[in-house]
Chain A
Amino acid sequence: MRRQAAFRRSVPTALFLCALPVGAIVLSLFFGRYAISPSDVLSALFRPSAVPHAVLVTVRQLRLPRALAAAFVGASLSASGAAFQSVFRNPLVNSGILGVSNGAGFGACLAIVCFGSGFFTYALSFLFGAAAVVLSYFAGRIAKRNTVIMLILGGTIVSAFFAALVSLLKYIADPYSQLPAITFWLMGSFASVGVPHLAAVIPMSLGMGLIFLCRRRIDVLSMGEREAAALGVDVRLCSLLVIGGATLCTASAVCISGTIGWVGLVIPHIGRMLVGSENTKLIPASISLGAGFLVIVDLLSRCLTGSEIPIGILCALIGTPFFVYLLKTRKGGGWL
């Protein structure tokens, strides 16, 4: 009985969470700098022969891939953030805690300085993002005890190391051509995303899938290392799987979008307010909230002003008041 009642209460939230990303993606097909009538957008999707080529390209090869990329990036960052917060037992942790953002940032800057932009930006940012996590992981494993604190410390140190390298590259970069590219990349943007970038959807999905499969173990891991072990969880293997999954999806996300902060920290908290702390619900909720949120923010970033506002900036500008509003109206939902 009680279970049924609880189930009924959660139905509206579940429907909202399912509809949010889909609705946001559909909505973002209809707006943009290049004005297209709603009927033309529909035709471009379902009757491609009936619309001019330019309309077809805009809807199918610019707006749709861009919205999909934003959705997957938002979902990846939020899912990893939620998983990391639980595994590290720390609500202040975000998806970049193990250095993936700064590592990827360095990789991208290195590519911009050495090769100009292009393929190498993606390859190197993914590579260095993943390498930073591996470094943090081994730094954290040096200590035999308190591995959680050591991992966070390791991640912070490795992040600082790569941040310093980024500063160094900015310092030596050509101020007229390379420096603007670096700055723009570091602020995050989906402006250059096209159909080929959607290849990143595969590793992002794999990473999120891995996190999703571990969701019940993540609950247990959040009880602390000693208790999780006593409850029958292979702590080392499990945290390795979660960290691996999170790294796979964050590194892929960051390499197509640049650094986007805020999402991986705050979306999981919004998720907790809506559905509670259990990762069985929290991980899926974070995935759809993150996806919906980033698609909408990206839509605003390309529509609000004549030139695009970098999405990293807009995320925090829109997200923070929204978070405060939620905190006030939902009283934190038992959380915070």
Chain B
Amino acid sequence: MILDIRALSFSYDASPVLRDVSLSMDAGEIVCVVGPNGSGKTTLLDCVTGYLRPQQGEIDICAKPLRTYRRQALAQKIAYVPQHHHPTFPYRVRDVVLMGRTAHTGLLGAFSDADAEAADDAMRQVGIDDLADRAYHTLSGGELRLVMLARALAQKPRLIVLDEPTVSLDFRNELQFLEALTALVKARNIGALIATHALSHAFFFERAGIPVRTALLCKGQPMRLGTPQEILTRETLADAFGVEAQISETTAQGETVRQITLLRTIDKEDGTA
């Protein structure tokens, strides 16, 4: 088990965000965290990366309590792909990816040849090796996400935490990102914890043959956890998001493809249009 969250609660000052959340993940598994804005997706991710300290509950990373890790040791287990990254200074792509090796360096942070190789490997696996010498502030949004993914990969983590990794990407770049992520989850047998608004990503990972679960967060309710099919239903979407949705199945190239079509907003309380 690479991640084990037990009875986690978190509140900012007086307003509780996460209540009694439990979740455990194995290597090679993907968990998609979905939920409306402000339901605590990012907060949950921040607790897992150790950026926030939960008031209650326990988090174990690779069978060791999170709070006993030092920053550097934790970064060898967990990598993080941010929701937004604004390049401030024009580092080269190669140097940004190499920063993923920081957790494996000594006191002064000097990189060895092995680190450079790990960074090259990561860029190759994500498919951005041709961008290596570009200044990363000149990249497109899609390319920048892939750089962030390569940097996380260079960290050689057991678990990658991604905060809305495909938001604001066009659909080809979105697919490309998902394909890269799928490939490396399979190839390196690492886990991925993904906060996302794209509900159908769970179905994509399922079709790719990766064990996947969906966790649905909703303010004031306990977290719902299960297979995408169990969680993403007409009823739960109406309840959590206040939308009327239709979940349909079609067959494309011999595969069953599940699709969510959003129809209209509805009142959350009585569930009527």
Contact = CB atoms under 8 A, between A and B. Distances in A.
Q: Do these two chains really belong together in a complex? A: yes
A30 B176 CA distance: 64
A216 B88 contact: no
B51 interface: yes
A240 to B, nearest CB: 14
B196 interface: no
A234 B70 CA distance: 9
A111 to B, nearest CB: 39
Contact of B71 (A232, A276, A278, A335): A232
A232 B75 contact: yes
A272 B92 CA distance: 13
A90 B51 CA distance: 22
A330 to B, nearest CB: 13
Contact of B76 (A2, A223, A232): A232
A143 to B, nearest CB: 12
Interface string B167-202: 000000000000000000000000000000000000
Contacts of B46: 226
A230 B89 contact: no
Contacts of B264: none
Interface in B41-75: 46, 49-51, 70-72, 74-75
A227 interface: yes
Interface string B199-241: 0000000000000000000000000000000000000000000
Interface residues of B, number: 37
Interface in B87-107: 88-92, 95-96, 99-100, 102-103, 105
Nearest to B76: A232
B80 A226 contact: yes
A233 B102 CA distance: 8
A276 B92 contact: yes
B52 to A, nearest CB: 10
Contacts of A231: 75, 80, 99-100, 102-103, 151, 155
Contacts of B91: 219, 276-278
A222 B75 contact: no
Interface in A204-244: 213, 215-217, 219-220, 222-224, 226-227, 229-234
B78 interface: yes
Contacts of A277: 89-91
15 contacts: A85-B89, A216-B102, A216-B109, A219-B99, A220-B102, A226-B80, A227-B82, A229-B71, A230-B78, A232-B72, A232-B76, A233-B71, A234-B72, A276-B92, A334-B138
A54 B110 CA distance: 50
B135 interface: yes
A97 B46 CA distance: 30
A319 interface: no
A86 interface: yes
B227 to A, nearest CB: 29
Interface in A74-90: 85-86, 89-90
Nearest to A282: B89
Of the listed residues A91, A220, A223, A276, the one surrounded by the most CB atoms of chain B closer than 10 A to its CB is A223
Contact of B89 (A220, A229, A233, A272): A272
Contacts of B102: 216-217, 220, 231-233
B108 interface: yes
A272 B89 CA distance: 9
B75 A91 contact: no
A335 B90 contact: yes
B89 A216 contact: no
Nearest to A333: B90
Contact of B49 (A217, A219, A230, A272): A230
By Cβ-Cβ distance, the 8 closest A-B pairs, closest first, are A232-B75, A232-B103, A216-B109, A230-B80, A277-B89, A232-B72, A89-B88, A231-B102
Interface string A292-334: 0000000000000000000000000000000000000000001
B123 interface: no
A276 B72 contact: no
B49 A229 contact: yes
A226 B151 CA distance: 14
A227 B138 CA distance: 20
Of the listed residues B80, B88, B161, the one surrounded by the most CB atoms of chain A closer than 10 A to its CB is B88
